[in-house]
Structure 1
Amino acid sequence: MGRLRAKSDYEDIRNARILENQERLASLGLKKTVSELRSIVSSAKSAKIQERKCRHTLPRISLPLRRSDRLKQISLDSTPVHDLISYRRSNRLKGKVVQSLKFESKEVGEKIKKRPANAPLVEIDDFDHRLSPDASARRCNSKGRGSVYDPVYGICCHFCRQKKLCGEEDCKRCGNLDMDEPCIGKTDCSVCHSSNGVFCRACLKVRYGEEMEEVIENKKWMCPHCVEKKGTNPYWICNSSLCLKKRKMAPTGLAIYRAREMGYESVAHLLMDELKRANR
């Protein structure tokens, strides 16, 4: 009973103190101020929530699309081609009309002779294509792949896919831009005469272990694709990234360093040995 009585006395004192505090706040006018502050805070919170909801419903501001000059139909710079020959720009961007490279077949008696892949026919309309003095001076700086990119007379290597003029000093096609002459810095397969058999000097040596001079002297030289097709050299394949992807094999990248460390002549010899061991 003593404990209950003490608890009841405490609650009575507490309630009396609460009433006293409320009366004091009312006499000072603070009770109204507290209620007003609470209403302001609640209204601010509701306004912020409403603003968040409105953000999702507001229409997005449409900005102008970033389009190229070709799509905007703006005329491009009409600088002569020989002044831009050192830049890697397509003829479409240069505003010039150049038809795509194609092979020409000529009838010789009853046989049809196909134009070699290292001397493709080029048809040029209405402008004189020539090398600038700077490009002529730089052409032979790199004998392996050439130093000058040329979208018209340059012949694309099947492996590195660099459409450059070759770096051979005696090449009449790349030096004099004579399209009726073959490029002596690019190979041509005696069987398919296709772009699959076109390799520059550097790729031919590094990737397949062959010298350009030996290929030029060998009139019956066959590209890796034709060698594989005829089966004359088992496991000999083309190791370009395009061909390896068709085989669902990963491109080798800079495998020449690994091949030479292991004593192989080229990347093709390394792959040939690996394929032999895999099929044992």
Structure 2
Amino acid sequence: MKHLINTFLVLCLFLVSCSQNSDEEWNSDTSNVPEVQTVGFRFTRASLETFAAHGITEIGIYVYLSDSLVYGENLPLNDGNLEVDVPLGERLQTFAVANADRLERTDSLSKVILYQDLQAQKEIYLSEVTEFMSDRTVSRVNLELKRIVGQATFQPAESGEDIAAITQFDRLNMVFTNVGIGYMVNTGECIQEDVEVSADLASGFSASVYSFPTTGQNSTGLDLIYIKDGQEVNRTKRVLDTNITFETSKHTVVSIPVLDESYLQESFTRNRILKTAINQGLTIKEYNF
């Protein structure tokens, strides 16, 4: 009997010990779960009006602790009332973006890059990188998104009647050199590539490209390629030195007489070549938009 009592006491002590260890492990696990705070993001009225005008229904929100990503998602606009869970009690940095094709290297604020969709040709909007504390006194972060691209357009200098009478080509390919296709959010540095767009008679042989700001980087030139029935029939002698520098919300319009053979490698007419200097007739105008 005494042996049974001792065995029972040992078993009870074992069960109590296991229960205590389990409680300690559970408490340890819960204590390691970081506390979070829900922060609202609000946008200025000007931003919301811009979103409505451009059919923007989704906003990318990115939040960083030091240089490391803690939140990064595209969210429905929801009338400009967005909420995000972030680590509590931290000094954080955030930015918002709309209409970008994609973001790369998002894990690091110092490396994150925006890219535009070259086919869609959309205006891209970006907020400044904004710092805030995720303590109980901060429930909302206000952001203003502004246009972060400029635009360049080529259009023939000829009149509409002359354009309609063109038979030498049926399509014009335009190669804009050194276009800003990517943008580093933290530094403003631009990634440049040549971009080719195409236009036919229906558009008046006119086309445009958007670009991130290229101030302090290589300027943009223009090369024209003349197409007839899918085949190249002519092109400019060299890249036209337009010296375009893209700036935010600046629209540059470049015009030349596309039938002026002094610009071209080959004569369309074969019986005459216009005796004009290579840059005579080239005009560049700048507007804000």
Return the TM-score normalized by structure 2: 0.23
Return the TM-score normalized by structure 1: 0.24
Decide which structure has the larger Cα Rg and report it. 1
Higher helix share: 1
Higher strand share: 2
